[in-house]
Amino acid sequence: MTNKKEVAQAIWNTYVDGYSKALMTPVEQFSTYLDSDSKKIIADILREVANQLQYHNFGEGVDMIVDAHSLYEVADELEVL
């Protein structure tokens, strides 16, 4: 099983790196005073993505699944909003 702490850190790093590129500011120069708010927003977004894209799986031991292909499609749509 994937280490969820490592996954969470990778998501946070992607957010920070993206913000750095958007602002054309090196990551090292960021003020981190809003980190907990930003992390809460990302967590809320992940929960909503799961809520919107989950579907029932009637296999043994698993009841809800999110399809990776659907995640990529939503990401593509989000970029063009």
Question: How far is residue 71 from each of residues 28, 31, 32, 66, 77, measured CA to CA in Å?
Answer: 30, 30, 29, 8, 10
Q: Span 17-36, mean pLDDT?
A: 76
Q: What is the CA radius of gyration of the chain?
A: 16
User: pLDDT at position 17, please?
Assistant: 85
Per-residue model confidence as pLDDT tens digits over 38-77: 889 999 999 999 999 998 877 777 778 889 999 999 999 9
Predicted TM-score (pTM) above 0.95: no
User: pLDDT at position 1, please?
Assistant: 52
In this predicted structure, the answer to whether residue 31 has a pLDDT above a threshold of 70 is no
User: pLDDT at position 77, please?
Assistant: 94
Separation between Cα atoms, residue 42 and residue 31, nearest integer Å: 18
**Non-local CB neighbours of 17 within 8 Å, separated by 6+ positions:** 27
